[in-house]
Amino acid sequence: MSKIPTVTLNNGVEMPLLGFGVFQIPPADTERAVLEALEAGYRSIDTAAAYQNEEAVGRAITASGIPRDELFITTKLWIQDAGDKPAQRAFEASLRRLGLDQLDLCLIHAPYGDYYGTWRALESACHGGAVRAIGVSNFHPDRLTDLIAHHEIVPAVDQVEMHPYYQRTADEQAMHKRTVQIEAWGPLAQGQHGLLRDPVLTELARAHDRSPAQIVLRWLMQRRVPAVVKSTQPQRIRENLAVLDFELTDADMARIAALDGRTGPAYDTRDADTVDSINTMKVT
Protein backbone atom coordinates (compact mmCIF):
# COMPACT_ATOMS: atom_id res chain seq x y z
CA MET A 1 0.00 0.00 0.00
CA SER A 2 1.14 3.53 -0.75
CA LYS A 3 2.30 5.66 2.14
CA ILE A 4 -0.30 8.10 3.46
CA PRO A 5 0.61 11.67 2.40
CA THR A 6 1.58 14.14 5.10
CA VAL A 7 1.19 17.82 5.83
CA THR A 8 4.00 19.88 7.37
CA LEU A 9 3.06 21.62 10.61
CA ASN A 10 4.31 25.08 11.57
CA ASN A 11 7.31 23.61 13.43
CA GLY A 12 8.37 21.30 10.60
CA VAL A 13 6.81 18.10 11.99
CA GLU A 14 5.20 15.86 9.35
CA MET A 15 1.64 14.75 10.14
CA PRO A 16 -0.26 12.08 8.14
CA LEU A 17 -3.34 13.32 6.34
CA LEU A 18 -5.45 10.39 7.56
CA GLY A 19 -5.53 9.06 11.09
CA PHE A 20 -7.43 6.39 13.01
CA GLY A 21 -9.49 7.64 15.97
CA VAL A 22 -10.73 5.73 19.00
CA PHE A 23 -13.45 8.06 20.33
CA GLN A 24 -16.28 6.00 21.90
CA ILE A 25 -14.52 2.70 21.28
CA PRO A 26 -14.73 0.77 24.57
CA PRO A 27 -11.34 -0.06 26.09
CA ALA A 28 -12.06 -3.79 25.65
CA ASP A 29 -12.35 -3.30 21.88
CA THR A 30 -9.70 -0.62 21.38
CA GLU A 31 -6.57 -2.79 21.25
CA ARG A 32 -8.06 -5.02 18.53
CA ALA A 33 -9.34 -2.05 16.50
CA VAL A 34 -6.02 -0.18 16.66
CA LEU A 35 -4.07 -3.32 15.73
CA GLU A 36 -6.34 -3.85 12.73
CA ALA A 37 -5.88 -0.21 11.73
CA LEU A 38 -2.09 -0.47 11.99
CA GLU A 39 -2.08 -3.72 10.02
CA ALA A 40 -4.23 -2.04 7.35
CA GLY A 41 -1.64 0.74 6.99
CA TYR A 42 -2.67 3.57 9.30
CA ARG A 43 0.27 5.20 11.02
CA SER A 44 -1.53 8.04 12.83
CA ILE A 45 -3.56 7.12 15.94
CA ASP A 46 -5.70 9.68 17.80
CA THR A 47 -6.85 9.15 21.39
CA ALA A 48 -7.53 11.25 24.50
CA ALA A 49 -7.52 10.98 28.27
CA ALA A 50 -11.30 11.47 28.16
CA TYR A 51 -11.73 8.40 25.94
CA GLN A 52 -10.35 6.23 28.76
CA ASN A 53 -8.64 3.87 26.31
CA GLU A 54 -5.07 5.17 26.18
CA GLU A 55 -3.72 1.98 27.82
CA ALA A 56 -5.34 -0.17 25.13
CA VAL A 57 -3.87 2.07 22.43
CA GLY A 58 -0.46 1.65 24.06
CA ARG A 59 -0.79 -2.15 24.10
CA ALA A 60 -1.68 -2.13 20.41
CA ILE A 61 1.33 0.06 19.58
CA THR A 62 3.63 -2.37 21.40
CA ALA A 63 2.01 -5.48 19.93
CA SER A 64 2.19 -4.10 16.38
CA GLY A 65 5.99 -4.19 16.33
CA ILE A 66 5.99 -1.11 14.10
CA PRO A 67 9.03 1.11 14.74
CA ARG A 68 8.09 4.07 16.89
CA ASP A 69 9.46 6.61 14.41
CA GLU A 70 6.96 5.38 11.81
CA LEU A 71 3.97 6.25 14.02
CA PHE A 72 2.24 9.54 14.79
CA ILE A 73 0.47 9.37 18.16
CA THR A 74 -1.92 12.07 19.36
CA THR A 75 -3.65 12.44 22.71
CA LYS A 76 -5.58 15.22 24.43
CA LEU A 77 -5.71 16.64 27.96
CA TRP A 78 -9.15 16.92 29.57
CA ILE A 79 -10.44 20.10 31.19
CA GLN A 80 -10.50 18.73 34.76
CA ASP A 81 -6.70 18.75 34.51
CA ALA A 82 -6.46 22.36 33.36
CA GLY A 83 -3.70 24.53 34.79
CA ASP A 84 0.09 24.32 34.95
CA LYS A 85 0.65 21.58 37.52
CA PRO A 86 -2.49 19.50 36.88
CA ALA A 87 -1.80 19.51 33.15
CA GLN A 88 1.81 18.49 33.71
CA ARG A 89 0.65 15.54 35.83
CA ALA A 90 -2.03 14.62 33.29
CA PHE A 91 0.45 14.75 30.42
CA GLU A 92 2.84 12.45 32.26
CA ALA A 93 -0.03 10.10 33.10
CA SER A 94 -1.02 9.91 29.43
CA LEU A 95 2.55 9.04 28.49
CA ARG A 96 2.56 6.24 31.10
CA ARG A 97 -0.77 4.84 29.95
CA LEU A 98 0.42 4.87 26.34
CA GLY A 99 3.76 3.35 27.29
CA LEU A 100 5.62 6.08 25.41
CA ASP A 101 8.57 8.35 26.11
CA GLN A 102 7.39 10.96 23.60
CA LEU A 103 4.14 12.03 21.96
CA ASP A 104 3.93 13.35 18.43
CA LEU A 105 1.04 15.70 19.19
CA CYS A 106 -0.78 16.70 22.37
CA LEU A 107 -3.90 18.85 22.30
CA ILE A 108 -5.97 20.79 24.81
CA HIS A 109 -9.29 18.99 24.39
CA ALA A 110 -11.61 21.98 24.86
CA PRO A 111 -11.34 25.75 25.48
CA TYR A 112 -12.50 25.73 29.10
CA GLY A 113 -10.95 26.17 32.53
CA ASP A 114 -7.39 27.40 32.93
CA TYR A 115 -6.27 26.50 29.43
CA TYR A 116 -3.62 29.22 29.64
CA GLY A 117 -1.97 27.20 32.40
CA THR A 118 -2.40 24.01 30.42
CA TRP A 119 -0.73 25.64 27.43
CA ARG A 120 2.25 26.67 29.54
CA ALA A 121 2.59 23.06 30.69
CA LEU A 122 2.50 21.86 27.09
CA GLU A 123 5.07 24.46 26.07
CA SER A 124 7.37 23.11 28.79
CA ALA A 125 6.81 19.54 27.60
CA CYS A 126 7.59 20.63 24.04
CA HIS A 127 10.79 22.41 25.08
CA GLY A 128 11.79 19.32 27.07
CA GLY A 129 11.32 17.01 24.11
CA ALA A 130 8.44 14.97 25.57
CA VAL A 131 6.16 16.02 22.71
CA ARG A 132 7.01 16.99 19.14
CA ALA A 133 4.06 19.34 18.53
CA ILE A 134 1.28 20.85 20.62
CA GLY A 135 -2.12 22.18 19.69
CA VAL A 136 -5.76 22.58 20.61
CA SER A 137 -9.13 21.04 19.86
CA ASN A 138 -12.56 22.63 19.52
CA PHE A 139 -11.17 26.18 19.69
CA HIS A 140 -13.02 28.80 17.65
CA PRO A 141 -10.84 31.47 16.00
CA ASP A 142 -11.38 34.03 18.77
CA ARG A 143 -10.07 31.75 21.53
CA LEU A 144 -7.31 30.45 19.27
CA THR A 145 -6.14 33.96 18.39
CA ASP A 146 -6.20 35.05 22.03
CA LEU A 147 -4.11 32.02 23.03
CA ILE A 148 -1.56 32.83 20.34
CA ALA A 149 -1.35 36.49 21.42
CA HIS A 150 -0.31 35.64 24.96
CA HIS A 151 2.06 32.69 24.54
CA GLU A 152 5.34 31.76 22.94
CA ILE A 153 4.40 28.70 20.87
CA VAL A 154 1.72 28.98 18.21
CA PRO A 155 -0.52 25.87 18.23
CA ALA A 156 0.45 23.51 15.44
CA VAL A 157 -3.08 22.09 15.07
CA ASP A 158 -6.68 22.96 15.87
CA GLN A 159 -8.76 19.78 15.66
CA VAL A 160 -12.41 20.69 15.05
CA GLU A 161 -15.64 19.14 13.84
CA MET A 162 -15.62 19.35 10.04
CA HIS A 163 -17.44 17.52 7.23
CA PRO A 164 -19.09 18.38 3.88
CA TYR A 165 -22.23 19.74 5.55
CA TYR A 166 -20.20 21.83 8.04
CA GLN A 167 -17.01 22.90 6.29
CA ARG A 168 -15.65 25.63 8.60
CA THR A 169 -14.23 27.62 5.67
CA ALA A 170 -13.90 30.91 7.55
CA ASP A 171 -12.36 29.14 10.54
CA GLU A 172 -9.89 27.37 8.27
CA GLN A 173 -8.88 30.70 6.72
CA ALA A 174 -8.34 32.25 10.15
CA MET A 175 -6.17 29.29 11.17
CA HIS A 176 -4.16 29.39 7.96
CA LYS A 177 -3.45 33.10 8.48
CA ARG A 178 -1.95 32.21 11.87
CA THR A 179 -0.04 29.12 10.59
CA VAL A 180 -2.30 26.73 12.49
CA GLN A 181 -3.24 23.49 10.70
CA ILE A 182 -6.94 22.63 10.77
CA GLU A 183 -7.69 18.95 11.44
CA ALA A 184 -11.11 17.34 11.03
CA TRP A 185 -12.81 15.20 13.62
CA GLY A 186 -16.15 13.67 12.65
CA PRO A 187 -15.34 13.92 8.91
CA LEU A 188 -18.22 11.54 8.14
CA ALA A 189 -20.62 13.48 10.42
CA GLN A 190 -20.52 10.54 12.85
CA GLY A 191 -23.14 8.80 10.72
CA GLN A 192 -25.64 11.62 11.24
CA HIS A 193 -27.69 13.93 8.97
CA GLY A 194 -27.84 11.34 6.19
CA LEU A 195 -24.49 12.58 4.94
CA LEU A 196 -23.42 9.25 3.46
CA ARG A 197 -26.74 9.01 1.61
CA ASP A 198 -26.37 12.49 0.11
CA PRO A 199 -27.26 12.39 -3.62
CA VAL A 200 -24.11 14.30 -4.66
CA LEU A 201 -21.81 12.03 -2.66
CA THR A 202 -23.53 8.85 -3.80
CA GLU A 203 -23.37 9.99 -7.43
CA LEU A 204 -19.67 10.74 -7.12
CA ALA A 205 -19.17 7.38 -5.40
CA ARG A 206 -20.73 5.58 -8.35
CA ALA A 207 -18.69 7.59 -10.83
CA HIS A 208 -15.42 6.71 -9.10
CA ASP A 209 -16.46 3.18 -8.03
CA ARG A 210 -15.98 4.13 -4.39
CA SER A 211 -18.08 4.53 -1.26
CA PRO A 212 -19.49 7.91 -0.18
CA ALA A 213 -17.18 7.76 2.86
CA GLN A 214 -14.16 7.35 0.58
CA ILE A 215 -15.31 10.35 -1.47
CA VAL A 216 -15.46 12.51 1.68
CA LEU A 217 -12.05 11.38 2.92
CA ARG A 218 -10.50 11.94 -0.50
CA TRP A 219 -12.07 15.43 -0.62
CA LEU A 220 -10.38 16.31 2.66
CA MET A 221 -7.08 14.78 1.57
CA GLN A 222 -7.03 16.83 -1.63
CA ARG A 223 -7.72 19.94 0.43
CA ARG A 224 -4.70 19.01 2.59
CA VAL A 225 -6.88 18.71 5.69
CA PRO A 226 -5.84 15.89 8.06
CA ALA A 227 -8.81 13.83 9.21
CA VAL A 228 -9.45 11.38 12.04
CA VAL A 229 -11.81 8.55 11.10
CA LYS A 230 -13.15 5.78 13.35
CA SER A 231 -14.56 2.30 12.86
CA THR A 232 -14.48 -1.01 14.70
CA GLN A 233 -15.31 -3.07 11.59
CA PRO A 234 -12.21 -4.51 9.86
CA GLN A 235 -13.69 -4.10 6.38
CA ARG A 236 -14.62 -0.47 7.03
CA ILE A 237 -11.22 0.24 8.59
CA ARG A 238 -9.54 -0.92 5.38
CA GLU A 239 -12.09 0.77 3.13
CA ASN A 240 -11.62 4.18 4.78
CA LEU A 241 -7.89 3.94 4.08
CA ALA A 242 -8.33 3.04 0.40
CA VAL A 243 -8.40 6.63 -0.84
CA LEU A 244 -4.88 6.98 -2.19
CA ASP A 245 -5.35 5.59 -5.70
CA PHE A 246 -7.99 7.87 -7.19
CA GLU A 247 -8.52 11.61 -7.55
CA LEU A 248 -11.52 13.90 -7.53
CA THR A 249 -11.75 16.45 -10.34
CA ASP A 250 -12.04 20.18 -9.77
CA ALA A 251 -15.72 19.88 -10.71
CA ASP A 252 -16.18 17.09 -8.14
CA MET A 253 -14.53 19.23 -5.47
CA ALA A 254 -16.77 22.18 -6.31
CA ARG A 255 -19.91 20.03 -6.03
CA ILE A 256 -18.88 18.91 -2.55
CA ALA A 257 -18.02 22.48 -1.55
CA ALA A 258 -21.57 23.47 -2.48
CA LEU A 259 -22.95 21.13 0.23
CA ASP A 260 -21.70 23.43 2.99
CA GLY A 261 -24.23 24.79 5.46
CA ARG A 262 -26.66 21.86 5.49
CA THR A 263 -26.12 21.42 9.24
CA GLY A 264 -24.53 23.11 12.21
CA PRO A 265 -22.20 21.52 14.74
CA ALA A 266 -23.02 18.31 16.57
CA TYR A 267 -21.34 19.79 19.64
CA ASP A 268 -21.68 23.56 19.88
CA THR A 269 -18.84 24.56 22.20
CA ARG A 270 -20.35 28.05 22.52
CA ASP A 271 -23.74 26.78 23.74
CA ALA A 272 -24.21 27.42 27.46
CA ASP A 273 -25.84 24.05 28.22
CA THR A 274 -23.11 22.23 26.31
CA VAL A 275 -20.47 24.10 28.31
CA ASP A 276 -22.24 23.16 31.56
CA SER A 277 -22.34 19.52 30.50
CA ILE A 278 -18.68 19.37 29.50
CA ASN A 279 -17.51 21.15 32.64
CA THR A 280 -19.27 18.61 34.86
CA MET A 281 -17.93 15.58 32.99
CA LYS A 282 -15.26 13.89 35.08
CA VAL A 283 -12.68 11.49 33.70
CA THR A 284 -11.49 8.79 36.09
Question: Which residue ranges are tagged as binding site for substrate?
Answer: 109
- Contact predicate 195/188, CB 8 Å: yes
Whether 165 is catalytic = no
For residue 273, give the 3-state DSSP assignment: helix
- Contact predicate 150/184, CB 8 Å: no
Give Cα 29 distance to the centre of its chain: 20
Choosing from 42, 51, 115, 166, the catalytic residue is 51
Q: Any idea what DSSP says for residue 272?
A: H
| Residue 133 φ then ψ, to 5° | -150, 150
- Contact predicate 190/164, CB 8 Å: no
| Residue 3 φ then ψ, to 5° | -70, 140
Residue ranges for the known binding site are 109
d(CA 35, CA 61): 7
Report the amino acid identity of residue 41: G
Residues assigned a catalytic role: 51
